Amino acid sequence: MSAPAHPWVSSPHATTSRPEWTTEDALLFVTCLGTWRQPPCARAPLLRRYLAACARRQDWGQIDVGQVQLRVARLLTVGEPETG
């Protein structure tokens, strides 16, 4: 896996190298949500839809849903992260 395109995102290994998604994987996903498009799209609608979908998800496996929901709420409150 190549280095992330954004300096605020770091992952030591590919998410596919583990058998199950972890809280770290989910946090990385929501942090990057909508940023991979060029130009990046508006993230707030995507984050709001992700947060709404959290309520319908029943099996979170090893993912701490509370941490993920807090990250999404923080991203919605803070807005776009600084890119450098």
CA dist 42 and 20 (Å) reads 29
What pLDDT score does 41 carry?
Answer: 77
Q: How far apart are the first and last CA of the chain?
A: 22
28 Ramachandran zone, left/alpha/beta (phi>0; psi -120 to 50): alpha
What pLDDT score does 18 carry?
Answer: 61
What pLDDT score does 63 carry?
Answer: 94
pTM beyond cutoff 0.85: no
* pLDDT tens digits in sequence order for the chain, 84 residues long: 444 454 445 555 555 566 788 999 999 999 998 887 777 678 899 999 999 999 999 999 989 999 999 999 999 998 755 443
